[in-house]
């Protein structure tokens, strides 16, 4: 039996909730900015989303690069054995 934290359905549900939460917050902040005429909160929110997206992209790139570096090292060691 898979623990609930590792269940793909649980992880997918959390991801969907996060996406809907960010979308809902963006719409609410956008409407509030439109009503008040103060666009600074929306601009700040969009900057937070941009910086978060860049940070996640950099993290994914580092993980991907390290994974391929490990694979390259393993393949090189296998060639040395033969």
Inter-residue long-range contacts of 76-80, CB under 8 Å, 24+ positions, other chains counted: none
pLDDT at 74 over 80: yes
The H-assigned helical ranges of 1-82 are 8-36, 40-81
- How far, rounded to the nearest angstrom, does the alpha carbon of residue 36 sit from its chain's CA centroid? 31
C-alpha–C-alpha distance, residues 18 and 49, integer Å: 13
Other residues' Cβ atoms within 10 Å of the Cβ of residue 56: 10
Full residue range of the structural domain in which residue 16 is found:
4-81
Q: For residue 82, what pLDDT is reported?
A: 72
pLDDT at residue number 42? 96
pLDDT confidence of residue 9: 87
Per-residue pLDDT at 81? 84
pTM, 2 dp: 0.73
Please state, for a pLDDT cut of 90, what percent of the chain lies above it.
83
Give how many domains the chain has, as a whole number: 1
Residue 53 near residue 47 (C-beta atoms within 8 A): no
């Amino acid at each position: 039996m898979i623990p609930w934290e590792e269940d793909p359905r649980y992880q997918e549900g959390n991801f969907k909730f996060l996406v809907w939460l960010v979308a809902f917050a963006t719409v609410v902040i956008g409407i509030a900015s439109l009503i008040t005429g103060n666009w600074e909160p929306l601009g700040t929110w969009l900057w937070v989303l941009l910086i978060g997206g860049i940070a996640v992209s950099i993290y994914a790139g580092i993980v991907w690069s390290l994974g391929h570096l490990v694979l390259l090292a393993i393949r090189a060691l296998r060639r040395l054995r033969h």
